[in-house]
Amino acid sequence: MLEKINETTEFLRSEGIIDPDAGIILGTGLGGLTARMKNCIEIDYRNIPNFPVSTVEGHDGKLIYGDFGGRKIVAMKGRFHYYEGYGPEQVSFPVRILKYLGIKCLFLSNAAGGVNPEFQIGDIMVITDHINLLPNPLLGQNDDRIGVRFPDMGEAYDKYLIKKALIIAGENKIRIHKGVYLATSGPTFETPAEYRYFRIIGADAVGMSTTPEVIVARHMNLPCFAVSVITDLGIEGKIEYVTHESVQIEAEKTESRMTTIMTEMIKSL
């Protein structure tokens, strides 16, 4: 794997992606942040060696490097999901690349269903911990040059960054929650019984991404900060018909508040 990582990293450096301070992975309906980046270099995933090839129509993402909040960042507009048929190692491969490009911190966002009865559609949840119900991306042989065999997950989400986000949300009068994100494979949304079960086992929000990327980031000791945008509710009495489109629409409505938090977080790095 290290050879592949080096090949991809070298390619991106030769395209001008040099010493980024931070990386950011943008979830469904949350790609608008990239419009605020300046002096950008954009590269289609399909032109990046060893990147997974997108098989889903309309999902061919872009890596965007540029200035944001006074820093150099690399944004992933579009991510890879397990439900698309990629292995967990492939889903998280771009995170390895971001680390080897030199990022000091990984920011992530996703759209998720709220299972905490206090949550409303349009809320933002800072992820404090997760429950990974996807296959672990570190299964298989470990390369000790990249990370340890048994990484600790006691603080997968950086406490200092969480604290900072709560202060920023307060200053900007943004309603915010802290909570546990549970990742399931999808592509089905949950049955009412599954939502209930996920709540019972400790989840506040449910989605189909993020945990493989965070596991791989922590394998390489990269600090992570992640937020969920609540696009629908898996709460008894409040469950409505969910589609990919309704998730996108609700995520887009919250996008500017999420971007405010991310901008201020990156500025203060």
Where does this chain bind ligand HPA (CB under 6 A)? Answer: 111-113, 186, 189-190, 206-208, 231-232, 234, 242, 247
Cβ closer to ligand HPA: 233 or 265?
Answer: 233
Minimum CB–partner distance for residue 206 and ligand HPA (Å): 4
Q: Which is nearer to ligand HPA, 51 or 232 (CB)?
A: 232
CB-based closest residue to ligand HPA: 113
Minimal distance, residue 29 CB to ligand HPA, in Å: 9
Write out the two tokens for 89.
């190692």
For the bound state, the minimum distance from the C-beta of residue 119 to ligand HPA, rounded and expressed in Å, comes to 11
Q: Whose Cβ is closer to ligand HPA: residue 166's or residue 242's?
A: 242
Tokens of 79: 């991510």
Long-range Cβ contacts of 216-221 (<8 Å, 24+ apart): 216/92, 216/95, 216/96, 216/137, 216/138, 217/95, 217/99, 217/106, 218/151, 218/152, 218/153, 218/156, 219/138, 219/146, 219/147, 219/148, 219/151, 220/95, 220/96, 220/99, 220/146, 220/147, 221/147
Nearer to ligand HPA, 115 or 262 (CB): 115
Query: Closest Cα partner for 44 from 59, 27, 26?
Result: 59
The nearer residue to ligand HPA, 66 or 207, going by C-beta atoms, is 207
Cα–Cα distance, 141 to 131 (Å, whole number): 23
Cα angle, residue 256 at apex, residues 250 and 259 outer, rounded to 5°: 115
Min dist CB 131 to ligand HPA, Å, is 13
Cβ nearer to ligand HPA, comparing 97 with 112: 112
- Min. distance of Cβ 190 from ligand HPA in angstroms? 5
How many residues are there in the chain? 269
φ, ψ for residue 183, nearest 5 deg: -105, 130
To ligand HPA, the closest distance from the beta carbon of 245 in angstroms equals 12
